[in-house]
Structure 1
Amino acid sequence: MAWTYYQRALAMIMIITGSFNTLCVKYADQQIVPGQDGQLRHFNHPYMQSLFMFIGEMICLLVFKIIFCYYTRLRNGYEDRSNLTKGSRTFNPLVLIIPAACDVVATSINYIGLNMTYASSFQMLRGAVIVFTGILSVGFLNKKLNRREWLGITFVIFGLLLVGLSDFITMQNQKVNTNSVLTGDLLIISAQIITAVQMVVEEKYTTGQDIPALQVVGWEGVYGFIGICLIMIPLNFIYVIPPFADNSRGTLEATIDAFIQIANCDRLLMAIIGIIFSIAFFNFAGISVTKELNATTRMILDSIRTIVIWIFSLTLQWQTFHYLQLIGFFIIFIGMSCYNNIVIPQLIKKCQCRLRHLNFSVDEEQVINTAADYLEETH
């Protein structure tokens, strides 16, 4: 079935804003700005970046309320037909608390890992979510994985190992802190366990509830904002060593130091603004793609933005090219395609159908030739 213009627009918005968001986060990490003590430091505030992300998600709820009120005042029932507002308005927002809590933990760990590793590796390693989602689906949703899905998981694991190996080789060539980058990679993979829990919980408790996409993103943003604010209170008093703490106070998070750094650098401020608005558009487009098309399409589009991020990372010289990372990405993509039964399996089926058609045509031609020879002999 052909995509509508709205669905194409959603796909483009998801790829562009998703890529822009990751690049903004990494760009903010690389800014060296004086903090509360006047010393030049990188912007190492992953929890604050998570906070800004949830602010962006909260904006979606505000936008929904404004659009819904506008359509309601028209009194023509358009609020029940518009792609932005149609859906159930009697759902219980509390069903989104657990997914939001998982989002808080996973996003914070992801941003810590991103601060320590490469942006393209961050995006590729997020493919590990398929492995953990499949395993958790078997345990909690009583889902039975077929051979194709297990094959996809195997491909993804092998691709992840190649990405990790390429990071290790790149670090050796650039004389980068090996422990820091590998720790970042492991943190990102660990975060995918939490993300997998979030996806399983959403599938079990929220699937079937026709909730408008803007409301889903908005409510998760509200709960996430409250959660990260509460978490950051003790984090401002927990002292750790670098690379987990590179701020004026030497704690896991230094909120005042973060705001001072933002105030001292216009480029950093622009990156934060980019994080806020790009995540709002990205999450809205992602959930809308799931509703309009399916979760499989959303996952494939999410993998496409990996290429965009990788190209920009190479162009901006944030990392050097290594062929193993390219091979690892394609193997991960093949694994994702096998798991979700699209692209690669469909191409294989088409090739099989064409081969069968060719064999049938050859057999038919042989029968005709044999019959013709027989007729000639009889005459």
Structure 2
Amino acid sequence: MASAMQKCMYVLALLVCGSLNTLTMKIAFTMSGTVDGQSERFEKPWFITFVMFIAMCFALPFDRGMWGKVGSSAEKPLIDASSHSSLTWRKKVVKVMYPAFFDILATGLCSMGFLYIPASVWQLLRGAEIVFAAIFAVCCLKRRLFKFHALSLCFCVAGIACVGLASVWGSEAEAEAKGSENSAALQMLGIGLALSGQVVQAAQAVAEEWLLKDVDLPGLQVVGFEGVWGALAMMVVVLPMVQMLPGSDDGHLEDEYNAVQLLRSSSSLSGLMLLYTFSCATYNMSGIAVTGALSAVHRVMLEALRTLIVWIFGLSVHYLVDPKSLIGEVWTAWSWLEVVGFVLLVLGQMIYGEMLKVPGLYYPPHEEMDESALASPGGVKNLYSPVLRMSPSRSPST
């Protein structure tokens, strides 16, 4: 049982490193390095994705129980009182490979979208995963929605719509305030890419539910081995592919050799990448610790607070530091609509998680929930997946 001091440290690490995770990525996309005497901006979303997977690998050394399984016991079935799986530890590790592939595409799409939209909008749009995961869970896993689920999803959809409209409509005022060129089309492209990433992320949660239902690895091992498989896939397939495909980055879709040159030319950019790596690693581990010491409900509320921190940081940079900074955010005539979207998203998540119960709606007893899903690594990594909160098909929809 974690002490009060430990719980406070977990919560602080989640908030600080979670916010740094978003902010350092955005700042990196606005920084520049020098190649052949010319300044170039570091707009490398796929390289950032690779760094994220490297950071996830650092979860493995912190799992105390893993190293005893690497030896002779790796080929023995791991069956204990809390598990009915007959898979060996090594086979379980291999099965973690599959959701890592989803994670590559999801993170890559989200990172590409981050090039064109403010950090707060990007952070808020991550709440769309709950909607897509519910749709996939109903269509693919044959789960049933209760009325309170449907109501919460309506809140989330309305919130996402408000955030998207506020971003597009407010982009002109923000561009005028910063003295930069406005492009509503780029805003829409960024939103579309971010939402596409959430579709894939939701598909990942459902795939984990189906593929990894008999993989009862500890949370740190799930995160760590997804990082290992993701990093390997990035090095062998994705990075060579984006290097070969034609595009606007020195003739490539993304020039990874150029990314390394930019990092070598700028100590500030290299230091920021190290900070991003640290924040990613610590964020994943502190998230698992918070859910273990408190609950996934607490993490939902902390994630909402993290969004506020990112937004306040952007506003502070614009109004207190540099009005023309690319990482600053302007309070426009449409920002109130973004606030409404934030409130609707939080309310939707709270209703979905049964933190807020709507009078007159039926709430099933916990034994009607699919208990087998509660051990899913999807729940460990996403920590608040709609898949885990829905009734199996045998329960009545009310």
Alignment TM-score > 0.5, same fold = yes
Selected match of 1:334 from 347, 365, 368: 347
Question: How far apart, in 2, do the equivalents of 1:313 and 1:8 lie?
Answer: 26
**Alpha-carbon spacing, 1:3–1:110, altered in 2? closer, same or farther (3 Å):** farther
Task: Compute the displacement of 1:89 (Å).
Answer: 8.8
> Match of 2:390?
none
Question: How far apart, in 1, do the equivalents of 2:330 and 2:170 lie?
Answer: 7
The residue correspondences of 1:173-252 to structure 2 (distance < 5 A) are 173-175=173-175, 176-206=182-212, 209-229=215-235, 230-240=237-247, 245=248, 247=249, 249-252=250-253
Amino acid in the other structure paired with 1:19: S
Question: How far apart, in 1, do the equivalents of 2:209 and 2:288 lie?
Answer: 13
Are 2:351 and 1:345 aligned?
no
Task: Compute the displacement of 1:263 (Å).
Answer: 1.3
Question: How far apart, in 1, do the equivalents of 2:95 and 2:298 lie?
Answer: 24
**Alpha-carbon spacing, 1:266–1:191, altered in 2? closer, same or farther (3 Å):** same
250-259 or 9-18, which deviates more: 9-18
The alignment covers a number of residue pairs equal to 322
**Under a length normalisation based on structure 1, what TM-score does the superposition of the two structures give?**
0.78
> Match of 2:137?
137
Question: How far apart, in 1, do the equivalents of 2:211 and 2:299 lie?
Answer: 20
Task: Compute the displacement of 1:14 (Å).
Answer: 1.7
Render the CA deviation track for 1:39-73: whole Å, top value 9, x for unaligned: 3222110011111111111122234369957xxxx
**Under a length normalisation based on structure 2, what TM-score does the superposition of the two structures give?**
0.75
88-97 or 333-342, which deviates more: 88-97
> Match of 1:120?
120
164-173 or 282-291, which deviates more: 282-291
**Alpha-carbon spacing, 1:3–1:192, altered in 2? closer, same or farther (3 Å):** farther
The residue correspondences of 1:145-184 to structure 2 (distance < 5 A) are 145-175=145-175, 176-184=182-190
> Match of 1:319?
329
**Alpha-carbon spacing, 1:141–1:5, altered in 2? closer, same or farther (3 Å):** farther
What is the root-mean-square deviation of aligned Cα atoms in Å?
Answer: 2.6
Task: Compute the displacement of 1:210 (Å).
Answer: 4.1
> Match of 1:47?
46
Question: How far apart, in 1, do the equivalents of 2:293 and 2:217 lie?
Answer: 12
Q: SS of the counterpart of 1:251?
A: coil
Task: Compute the displacement of 1:162 (Å).
Answer: 0.9
> Match of 2:57?
58
315-324 or 169-178, which deviates more: 169-178
Structure with the bigger percentage of helix: 1
Task: Compute the displacement of 1:109 (Å).
Answer: 0.8
> Match of 1:81?
none
Question: How far apart, in 2, do the equivalents of 1:305 and 1:239 lie?
Answer: 37
Q: SS of the counterpart of 1:250?
A: coil
Task: Compute the displacement of 1:106 (Å).
Answer: 0.6
Q: In 2, are the aligned partners of 1:166 and 1:325 still within 8 Å (CA)?
A: yes
Task: Compute the displacement of 1:208 (Å).
Answer: 6.7
> Match of 2:275?
274
Q: In 1, are the aligned partners of 2:100 and 2:226 still within 8 Å (CA)?
A: yes
Task: Compute the displacement of 1:6 (Å).
Answer: 3.7
Amino acid in the other structure paired with 1:64: D
> Match of 1:254?
255
Render the CA deviation track for 1:300-356: whole Å, top value 9, x for unaligned: 3222211111111111121112211111111111111111111x338x79xxxxxxx
**Alpha-carbon spacing, 1:66–1:96, altered in 2? closer, same or farther (3 Å):** closer
Are 2:41 and 1:28 aligned?
no
Render the CA deviation track for 1:280-304: whole Å, top value 9, x for unaligned: 1111222344445544443332222
Are 2:12 and 1:12 aligned?
yes
Task: Compute the displacement of 1:261 (Å).
Answer: 0.8
Q: SS of the counterpart of 1:315?
A: helix
Question: How far apart, in 2, do the equivalents of 1:122 and 1:192 lie?
Answer: 11
Question: How far apart, in 1, do the equivalents of 2:139 and 2:3 lie?
Answer: 35
Question: How far apart, in 1, do the equivalents of 2:214 and 2:244 lie?
Answer: 43
Identity score, percent: 29
Amino acid in the other structure paired with 2:253: L
Unaligned runs of 5+ in 1: 70-87, 350-379
